[in-house]
Structure 1
Amino acid sequence: MPRFAANLSMMYQEHPFLERFGAAAHDGFSGVEYLFPYAFEARDIASRLHEHGLTQALFNAPPGDWDKGERGIAALPGRDDEFKRGIATALDYAEALGNTHIHVMAGVVGPHDDRARMRATYIENLAYAAKEAAARGRTILIEPINTRNMPGYFLNRQDDAHQIRTEIGAPNLKVQFDLYHAQIVEGDLAVKLRSTIANVGHIQIAGVPDRHEPDEGEVNYPYLLKLIDELGYAGWVGCEYVPRGRTSDGLSWFKRWNAEHA
């Protein structure tokens, strides 16, 4: 049975961030993820995880200047030193919070950027991150993201991500398969899951096209979640969606799934 992690950056926004841990546990989640932990002391987050019996599934490495529109710096030439400092910070937080997986964001391509140079930078930085993470028992993830939600994002397709993973060759470099992003960009989700699951390190879900609960829209999540189970995926499934209303009121899909697979 898939293990679901509540994404606390999108879900439970009716609560202050540190109170979202308790709300997620109360609703039956055993794991959590979110974009970034760095606005808080690691010990304060760790205490919430411990208090509520939650597992930290995932967070992102520092993305550059998020407020100014940066969405990662791994593929940005000239930012190598900043990138390396960010990986060190992310690994320190991961040790404190107990998660084994860290998502590294690539960055946004500008209209006049040299894409080939950015790809070379991306590969070099990912190889560095994977080496540093391996020394501390962690896994680095890369995630294709659709350009409707994140215009200009460097990495958009699952096949490109797996090609980069193969090219680098680090066993602790995996691909994050967000079914919402993949459906928007390329579709064919079941076939792609079957062909790539061995190198998928994390899965995320949301309804398509509106990114609400996974009980609406064009994607058949009961079928895909069953398939993920049949394929033997043992990682987390992150619920990275924007609730239609109060988070707890929209969890009928989650409660139904748990009841059917108890």
Structure 2
Amino acid sequence: MRFLASWPLLLSLPLLSASTPQGLKITVRNTMLGQSSETTQYFQSDRRRSEYRARNGFQAWPGRRITQVYGPPLAMIWRCDLGQISELNLADREYHSSPLPKWPTREELQARAAKSRQPAQPKKPNLLIEISTADTGERKELFGYTARHVITTRKYIPLEGAVSEPSESVTDGWYIDLDTRLSCEPNLKGAGYALLTGSVNGGARDIPTIKATGKPETGFPVELKTIDHSTFSLPDGTRKENTSTFETQVTELSSAPLDPALFE
């Protein structure tokens, strides 16, 4: 039995380095549109277990509060030593195991992006992406680590011939130095912005040009608040603006021996 619908949620979470000698427990709370969800991760000896509940939201009427419907408690276990990933339904006590995915290298991703470009596309960049990263210099202690305050602003500015709409996001975050990768997962640190390929709209793909200032933040995020501002067109040509806020907060980060059965 497979539970693949929740992959986007898990891929957005921090991962822990195999170099950590003892067990680690991390609980993360994500909040959007006034609704929150939590994921708890356990790490031990190049193994990771994530526990969470899949959820879907719906509105009975426009403007009404979004109602969340939660699925059963689920877990995913990564085992680098076995080259295996297991998906578990903790309520029904069902599981499915499969080989770990073969992650493409940075060079393979770049080659795929180049190959996917259509000959009819304009060669001149038509989407300006401005990325500004600023360390405020503020520091505070979080979970025994020194956290730094970094603000990252991303602006998407359509140029002539672009299909993308203008947008801007500001991420206000606190980061710590904690390597967050298992040995069997790709190391994309240092990749910079080379993998950005523009946006797709109705089959058309913009060609971006990137202007970056400041050192990109690659630390472990313990507190994040992202505010997105975007503009879009309705079928009748009316222009609308949208603002959304997404928050992530680590509520627990503790080191302790873990029961090996968590990863079985």
Please give the range of the TM-score, normalised by the shorter of the 2 chains. Answer: under 0.3
Q: Under a length normalisation based on structure 2, what TM-score does the superposition of the two structures give?
A: 0.26
Q: Which is bigger in relative contact order (C-alpha 8 A, separation at least 6)?
A: 2
Q: Under a length normalisation based on structure 1, what TM-score does the superposition of the two structures give?
A: 0.26
Richer in helix (by share): 1
Q: Which has the larger radius of gyration?
A: 2
